[in-house]
Amino acid sequence: MTVTDSRQPAAGPDAEVAAIAVTGLVYAFGQTRAVDGIDLTVPAGEVFGLLGPNGAGKTTAIRAMTTLLKVPPGMIRVFGRDVARDRMGVRRLLGYVPQQLSADSGLTGRENVALFARVFDIPRRERAERVAEALEIVGLADVADRMAGTYSGGMVRRLELAQALVTAPRLLILDEPTIGLDPIARTSVWERIDDVRAATGMTVLVTTHYMDEADQYCDQLALMHKGLIRATGTPESLKRDLAAAWHDAGRDAEPTLEDVFRHFADSELLGDQEGGTFRDVRRSRHTASRVG
């Protein structure tokens, strides 16, 4: 696949194919059904937000979509390719920024991105240019030859974005890309994502706990809770539906996306599993302190 080809949005008969199509996805860790039977369609070219409280199953669903967890055939297709039958084909289409650290603090920014370019088989003659381009996109060209260990949390996150972008993916999957960042760094990460999407038509699937980000940057959202999808829609339609429900109940107020989130997740947030399990909390804090 050439550089140019891989950057084009789906064309011709492929144009209608969803970037991600999930049907009846189930995934259990022992007795824990982390994902309990979800259907989800992420249209090509959109920014799609997967929201939900700690432990909802978002990361598990994403790891299955990125081929990192094994699922039976027929459950997940990425641009029409079954993740169970065509793992390498799917991997070539996507860039993934996990919650956990993927940048090496002992390498420069440029070396970090170059490593990904090598691992993902970008032809040697194209590598330097593609690496420089990815660093430019995320605004790190000026500091590319500094050790990543000297970067701020926001810069590390943008470096990880550059690693995912160097392959020019058709689908970018980001697991809490802005967790632990200050508001300026968060905006900066989102602006980079927006720029690339505008330039390439890339599809983006993102998880976030920040409702303001979901509201501002996502075209569509799915709200996940206890392994199930509880609601899907645009930020506007989700707020409108809750407004109507409130209105019927005699409450005249404009709900925010935060209200929508609480509406679908309240029982968990107020119950005995507040904020997910200890494991979930530890993991989130670890991530936050790493990038913060």
| Contact positions vs ligand ATP (CB under 6 A) | 29, 32, 34, 52, 54-60, 276-277, 279-280, 284
Choose between 118 and 286: whose C-beta lies nearer to ligand ATP: 286
Name the 3-class secondary structure at 208: coil
Instruction: State which residue, 139 or 276, has the beta carbon closest to ligand ATP.
Output: 276
CB-count exposure of residue 263 (10 Å: 0-12, 13-18, 19+) = middle
CB-nearer residue toward ligand ATP: 34 or 103: 34
Smallest separation (angstroms) from ligand ATP to the CB of 277: 5
List, in order, residues 6 or more apart from 242 with CB less than 8 Å away.
255, 259, 260, 263
E-assigned strand segments in the chain: 20-29, 32-42, 47-51, 76-78, 81-82, 94-97, 171-175, 203-207, 220-225, 228-233
Q: How far is the CB of 75 from ligand ATP (least distance, A)?
A: 16
Concatenate the DSSP letters of all residues of 60-75 into one string: HHHHHHTTSS---TTS
Residue 43 sits at the vertex; the CA angle it makes with 176 and 189, to the nearest 5 degrees, is: 30
Least distance between ligand ATP and beta carbon 33 (Å): 8
Nearer to ligand ATP, 7 or 230 (CB): 230
Minimum CB separation of residue 210 from ligand ATP in Å reads: 12
9: three-class secondary structure by DSSP: coil
d(CA 187, CA 99): 18
Q: For residue 79, which amino acid is it?
A: F
Give the nearest distance from C-beta 150 to ligand ATP in angstroms: 28
Beta carbon nearer to ligand ATP, 140 or 206: 206
Q: How far is the CB of 166 from ligand ATP (least distance, A)?
A: 25
Residue 87 or 283 having the CB closest to ligand ATP: 283
